[in-house]
Amino acid sequence: MNLQQLYYFQKIAECQQYTQAAKELHVTQATLSYAISNLEKELRVRLFERRGKSVQLTECGKAYLSCVRDALQALERGEQMVKDMATPARTVIKLDYLESVKHLTLSMIADLSAGDEEQQLRFELSHADASNIEQRLIRRETDLGISTIPVTEGIASRLLGYQDNVIVVPKDHPWGKRGSVPLSVLHEQRFIAYSQDCVIRGYYDSILKSVHVRPEIFAESRIHSNILDMVSYGMGVSIVPRMKGLEERYDLVPLSIQDDIPPRSIYLLWAEDAVLPPGVEHFRQQIVEREDLGQYL
């Protein structure tokens, strides 16, 4: 058994097929097959079962994957620890967030890192949808996430607060000076929606369905800023999470919703069995222990 076999095994488990795994690893499928065959012979178990062009982990494979992930992660931590001891470096915190909570993410980072006078923290920020954030946490590709309530097993969370929703319209729209409107005004209105594969789309669809409102969908996008841009260009109206500074950053008006609808819960996420580097764990603990996180929403 060698490290290369373990990396190959982990990548095949993530891709669930040899073709994609070989492409991402820049090796041939034959190389992967040979490596996994030798690993299975050494372990005396089957790690994968073929399902057409894809593969699935056996029960033994699932159990082994958990150990392999922990082992590889421990080796990566050890490598980084040795490098840090030899040449002190900043702590890198990888954080993924929903684009619609970008203001929360940046405000919280700014406040919590304000006391870092020696500038030992460095952030790698990426925005993604909820499902991708959870999968990246499970695969240890990111340390922390800011998203909605997790649905993936193995994800731990801490409630940050609740995000209200608003109807957004262009500044010259007839509703622009009303301040607030009921959801009923959206019936048969030209509407800019989130894409079907976005978690938030299901959330808004259920809200509109509960009040028997059916807008006419003119365009869809999975990117939050695209929706706001399309509204500001007069392509339609939309419902979006409330964000600080909407009026300043986009040429539109946010209107409060008169109906009593549930706000969106926003959470800090991390892989529950992950051993985070000390600097990352300290930053996570700072967030967990804060009681005024709602201020950022």
Pairing of the two strands 121-127 and 91-97: parallel
φ/ψ of 172, rounded to 5, equals -95, 15
> What is the maximal distance between C-alpha atoms in the chain?
72
Residue 47 CA: distances (Å) to CA of 11, 23, 187, 230: 13, 21, 53, 49
- pLDDT value at position 48? 93
Tell me the whole-structure pTM to 2 decimals.
Answer: 0.66
Gap between the Cα atoms of 104 and 2, Å rounded:
43
DSSP assignment of 31-100 equals HHHHHHHHHHHHHTS--EEEETTEEEE-HHHHHHHHHHHHHHHHHHHHHHHHHHHHS--PEEEEEEE-GG
Q: Is the pLDDT of residue 57 over 90?
A: yes
Q: Is the pLDDT of residue 85 over 80?
A: no
Where do the domains of the chain lie, and which CATH numbers do they carry?
3-84 (1.10.10.10), 90-162+265-296 (3.40.190.10), 171-260 (3.40.190.10)
pLDDT, tens digit, 9 for 90 and up, residues 286-296 = 998 887 777 76
- pLDDT value at position 255? 95
Residue 169 CA: distances (Å) to CA of 117, 208, 240, 253: 42, 17, 11, 5
3-class DSSP state of 15: helix
